Amino acid sequence: MNAPSPPRFLYQRIARDMRQAIGSGVYPPGQRLPSVRQLARQYRVSLSTAILAYRNLEAAGWLEARPKSGHFARAAPRPPRAPEPAPTASATAPRDVSVGALAMALVDETRAGELTRLGAAVPEADLLPLSALARHLAGTARRRWQAPASYEATRGNPLLRAQIARLMRDAGCNVLPEEVLVTNGCMEALSLALLAVARPGETVAVESPTYFGVLQVIEALGMRALEIATHPRTGIEPDALEQALAGHNIRACVLMPGFHNPLGACMPAAHKRRVVALLAARGVPLIEDDVYGALSFASPRPPAAKAFDEDANIIYCASFSKTIAPAYRIGWAVPGRHLERMVYLKFLRNLSTATPTQLALADFLADGGFQRHLRRAVPRYRQRLEQIYHAIDRHFPPGTRYTQPEGGFLLWLELPASVDSVQLHREALSDNIAVTPGLIFSPAGQYRHHLRLSVGACAGEILHRAVASLGRRARQAAD
């Protein structure tokens, strides 16, 4: 085997040295690296050369750049266990969306009876801090028993907004409490955001595939969706987005840069920076869905796209539904320059969000409960994903591809082309297993041989038996 050629340029030599230092554990994952100035002094090079070295490492996945914080080591990129699904292509034109009825029918089918929910994008009770939340809710009822006697402020309870602003620092965002709007879950935040920036008939750019809930909102508001090419590991392709912006009259862009549903993809910071700049230059608002961003296997978590927002052009949306309390239906938005419009729309829609749950969550966050819970839950999601990878390798037909996320609890399967995932979904239901077929993640009905799987609601032997049964069905369909 030929030895690798020596670096031709100084920045490549610096990148090689830092890569070796990270890979050997000199800089363990999460540790801050020397600043650009320190690196330039150490190697006696210009700042631009040091910056180029770090950008090279960032693009290769060896480090993470955090706005106003510096550069931090990441775990060494590991070779995938199996091939990942193929990158997708952009649509040539926007189209009307009509996935709502099918998505609701498929979801309703998975709620009947005692099912192993292998496709559900929700955590099971064992992975939620239910007892702690119950204590805070009971304490709120005792101490603030008069709170339900009046309507809450439309913007949300001040105590909760202050805690959310503190929480946003973990995502690299400096946010004031008065910039936060509390909503009834992330879906309301996304809906209000689209209402604020686009009108019926106008075009919204989305990833391909994208979360079917986003498509349902676009459909309900009478807008059109334009699918943009997306990589299964790094998210939307910036070059494809740039081409779409040049060729179409896009009014908004809805993205999930952090542990995407359904792919599990996490957009590198360099891509986030470029996407944010592209959209800002065109005056196209970015609606960022960050419901899974806190579930990062690396600590601290990657910065949100909002962390790179210098023009107040990003409407950041998130909720606690995927982390601590699905039934509380507490979400929030940081709408930037669209704040007043979204507050007005929220007022017209439902006036405000329930006070008792807001107060209970404010107490839980102030007590440090959110961070404690993540330290317990996130490693378990990672273990479950490793378990499901092994089970897929063992039981699914040759040619199966799947994503291997670095956070969250979802993954995306690409099955052999002869396997119809809707039919597989129906057959799995007869085995009391619920999965989510791929076609509802596309306005064009693509991805008929894809599945979204989840490790949020099952683990251990139950998970293995469900994957084995589903794999047998897939093998039969592939033969």
Q: Which amino acid is at 171?
A: A
**Which ranges in the chain are annotated with CATH 1.10.10.10?**
10-73
Residues of the chain within CATH 3.40.640.10 domain(s) are: 86-479
Please tell me the CATH code under which domain 86-479 is placed.
Answer: 3.40.640.10
Question: Do residues 477 and 448 touch, judged by C-beta distance below 8 A?
Answer: no
Q: Are 345 and 192 spatial neighbours (Cβ–Cβ below 8 Å)?
A: yes
**Residue 1 confidence (pLDDT):** 38
Encoded tokens for 450: 């894809």
* pLDDT at residue number 193: 99
pTM of this structure: 0.84
CB 322 within 8 A of CB 123: yes
Architecture (CATH level 2) of domain 10-73: Orthogonal Bundle (1.10)
Dist CA 416 CA 114 (whole Å): 29
Q: Determine how β-strand 63-66 pairs with β-strand 70-73.
A: antiparallel
Q: Which residue has the tokens 């693509």?
A: 446
Predicted local confidence at residue 77, as pLDDT: 60
Q: What is the pLDDT of residue 399?
A: 95
Which residues does 459 contact at the CB level (< 8 Å), separation at least 6? 124, 380, 384, 387
The predicted pLDDT at position 149 comes to 61
Q: How far apart are CA 118 and CA 112, in angstroms?
A: 14
Name, in order, each residue with C-beta under 8 angstroms of 125's C-beta and a sequence gap of 6 or more: none
SS3 251: strand
User: Measured between alpha carbons, how far is 405 from 295 in angstroms, rounded to an integer?
Assistant: 11
Question: In the chain, which stretches have pLDDT less than 70?
Answer: 1-8, 59, 75-81, 112, 144-149
Q: Residue 74: its pLDDT value, please?
A: 80
Cβ within 8 Å of residue 196, ≥6 positions away:
315, 335, 338, 341, 342, 345
pLDDT of residue 2: 43
